[in-house]
A and B are shown apart, each in its own frame.
Chain A
């Protein structure tokens, strides 16, 4: 333990309950990774504050002693965003689980960062409202983590991401100041700092309270499971639906290998012999949904659907979603190891990208199962391998990286919802220029000039915040040294 961490630990013990400050090795190890388990680092200290004052106090102590800190919600992230720092403090928000206020009349709720995503919806449902962003991990992931990652979910096609549903926050900067960002009412005057914080992966500071929008529960929901002979046919159906001006709540696609895995794991009874299935969900006013449903059914039919099943009640709907939602874990049934990739392409590039992925897979002898949010072009290829066989892990890693290159080449993104974290920092320069990354880091310098908030994440190379371009105080050092003259 460094002297800095020791000082923070002393301060934390003054502020927090005795069991909320952890420094024994065995217990520290339970926090060594998040949802991306192949990166592991044991933190020097774990603190579990119960309120904003405690949390801000710990952060202030970190700032004072130059100690790095990492925030962690439920630890479900898939890019290593909550991977601890070996000489730093892990700030866990799991004891900040109060839903402070539910205001259906204002379509808002105020929650602490450790509140589980689905619990917001549970609190709002009796009032006819829900919280729209629904990452697959919504039964365990925290709102604070959602804010850090700008989490999406199957329904963000129609309803948007976390950034569209968070309107205000109490925020602790890396210096330990507590500032309100945004407001409960729309369009707070000034820069949209909250917009910069959402999705910044904990590199700017930590939220201690989050104000979210609540959305009216739809009058009707129809979920359709559609079987196709090929991913091309399913993709054509997706394009036709979008071209018809329909924005479904969700359109999910699974290919044959992903279906096979889901069948083995949860016996979801998807259409036999399907080369691809679509899960399409329509929601809204009953009459609107009915009209859209007729159109969707027809468009699937003309694009080669061989089976369509409609679920209108929650039980049947859950059955359809079960296969899709279990897909990641289900792949464990058909492969001992796998990489969950997360990339984005323009939707129209889907057939081309799928073909290229097929070629990659064949060339390298690596199996790839595909699950996508097809409506918005967000791919989740599952790259399968067996660690115990020589060279397989390396080949899988290579294919996984090549898939990201495919996404970039088609004008897409290296991550649609899992974040950059520690896992993809090295890929970020393939998507953005040095100037782009430098400009992003100006924000970092404003919020966290010493780079102590979640260091080493997102950006492959930290910017030295002292180097403010254009700001010249006194003579340039080179000029002073007689090496240069002002021209």
Chain B
């Protein structure tokens, strides 16, 4: 990695990027560095470290919105909005994660079932382009269809289109209570379907190995009734705390970490293929997204076949560089040519996180 600069404002980021553009430097943005290993390895001249932009700029509890700088830690934002009984419905899937990194990777956890992912919660964004131009899209209101929704494009773009410096999110009220119903089963497919198609409105349906855990939140009376419905469907025990490992990834350093997506009818096949590959599995089974840890990535082509048969995909999220060099990290990507054209417009010299993203973008 190259030299590190630590700007403290959007204007400073703009200065840095203008200067980098003039010198033709390759640049990568970094929030808290918890997911820098994701995607393909990059080699850059300059790291723009956003940890100095860590403030919650505004929290309007009555409007259920929060405006934050990209380097703010997700946990700190949660603590701040929590004082007013609210939450940003994003899970901290990696401890210490920043807002910017969460946006760049569209990292999601159990709550995606009820609240979607960062793309669904982001309502306004300030970015600095590769040429140093500062631009905003969206705003401070949840409902807004004025102009293009650039927020959607930058979420999950791994920092290859622009550097996000500030973001506005919609918030959700913190529920009075949360309960988890957990049950062990060799085949969770039917149990997952029983819950997601029920009237219990599960807030999360997570699998961890052979354990299925369903979370509900809300008012005590309502939650009790919903827990009753869920137990009637799948049995299991009730807890008022999350099971261990809740909302975290199953892999350890040195292992190959996969994100596997599928339509819900494919859950059984996907889990069977992962079991056959010897994978450790955790994730949002009820939302069609699970994560898997593999010691060696040999089964990747077979897993891709199974996921594709169920309209999904397999991405190698995190793995040692030598593994990434030996496999197709992103897998097949439709519409790649159109994506390249978007990249060429935003970053014509390919200086932002070059080579990290799909198709070598």
Interfacial residues, chain A to chain B (CB-CB below 8 A): 103-108, 128, 149-150, 152, 156, 160-161, 163-164, 171, 173, 177, 179-181, 183-196, 198-200, 216, 218-219, 239, 242-243, 245-247, 284-292, 344-348, 373, 376-378, 411-420, 424, 428, 431-433, 435-440, 442-447, 458, 468-471
Contacts and interface: CB of A to CB of B under 8 A. Distances in A.
A180 B201 contact: no
Contacts of B146: 413-415, 420, 424, 428, 431-432
B156 A191 contact: yes
B148 A199 contact: yes
B133 A469 contact: yes
A404 B359 CA distance: 43
Interface of B: 21, 60-65, 85, 106, 108, 112, 116-117, 119-120, 127, 129-131, 133-137, 139-153, 155-157, 161-162, 172-176, 193, 196-201, 218-226, 229, 259, 261-265, 287-289, 307, 310-313, 315, 330-331, 333-339, 341-346, 348-349, 357-359
B129 A439 contact: yes
23 contacts: A164-B120, A171-B335, A173-B338, A184-B312, A185-B307, A190-B335, A190-B358, A192-B152, A193-B335, A199-B145, A288-B222, A291-B222, A377-B143, A411-B141, A412-B141, A413-B145, A436-B147, A439-B127, A439-B133, A440-B135, A447-B341, A469-B129, A469-B131
Contacts of B218: 288
Nearest to A449: B341
A369 to B, nearest CB: 20
Nearest to A417: B145
Contacts of B143: 152, 156, 161, 344, 373, 376-378, 413, 416-417
B334 A435 contact: no
A285 B200 contact: yes
Nearest to B225: A287
Contacts of B140: 346, 411-412
Nearest to B142: A376
A327 B172 CA distance: 30
A202 B42 CA distance: 36
B196 A413 contact: no
A359 to B, nearest CB: 22
Given A152-B143, A156-B143, A415-B144, A443 B173 contact: no
A198 B61 CA distance: 29
Nearest to A106: B263
A103 B337 CA distance: 30
B225 A245 contact: no
Nearest to B141: A344
Given A245-B85, A433-B135, 4 more contacts: A160-B116, A177-B337, A416-B141, A444-B148
Contacts of A187: 106, 108, 117, 156, 259, 261, 289
Contacts of A345: 141
